[in-house]
Amino acid sequence: MGEAKTGDEFITHEFDEAIAIQRSIVGAETTLSTKHPVASAKRAIKGSLADDKTFLQQLETLGKSHGATGKIEDVAGGLTELMSETLATATTEGADSDFYEAHAVLLNLKRKQMDSAGGMLAIARDQKDSELRKASLAFRRAQTATAKTLTDELAAYAVQIAAG
């Protein structure tokens, strides 16, 4: 585990983690938006990809002023590795259960970003940073909406797989 961080070092860490996770999301969505076997899930993922690319650019820009570059640490590293592994299995083996797992991991990344957005929003309010506050609100709303859609799609996919 990493060492404890406080103050500006913690803010940099939060941005690094959010940037790293967002890069993983964009990479996964880029693949799943063309390879996911369920057309409606593919459309939903493709629909959030453009927004997620924009959010990545915003995170990189806002994070830069705090010295963040997207450095991969413990949590982001574990989630990014899991996303890469499940995506690789899904795209090479192609089984529905493999794509289901990749879809589920993408959903977990989205949920992690919802948490990050909430933390960034609280920091922005505390520091009276209106640009970060506005970006954090938009980021949280978009991640929440996409997570809801991906959850619904995942549940429908589970039913489809279970029905054989």
pLDDT in tens, 19-32: 999 999 999 999 99
Contact yes or no for 107/144 (Cβ under 8 A): no
Q: How far is CA 113 from CA 32, 37, 42, in A?
A: 18, 25, 20
Select from 149, 29, 123 the least CA-distant residue to 68: 123
pLDDT in tens, 101-151: 999 999 999 999 999 999 999 999 999 999 999 999 999 999 999 999 999
Q: Give the percent of the chain with pLDDT over 70.
A: 98
Q: In whole angstroms, what separates CA 33 from the centre of its chain? A: 14
Token representation of residue 108: 């977990």
Contact yes or no for 2/54 (Cβ under 8 A): no
pTM: 0.93
Average pLDDT over residues 56-64: 95
User: 3.40.50.720, 3.40.50.10170, 1.20.1260.10, 3.30.300.30: which CATH number matches 7-163?
Assistant: 1.20.1260.10
Contact yes or no for 90/28 (Cβ under 8 A): no
d(CA 36, CA 43): 9
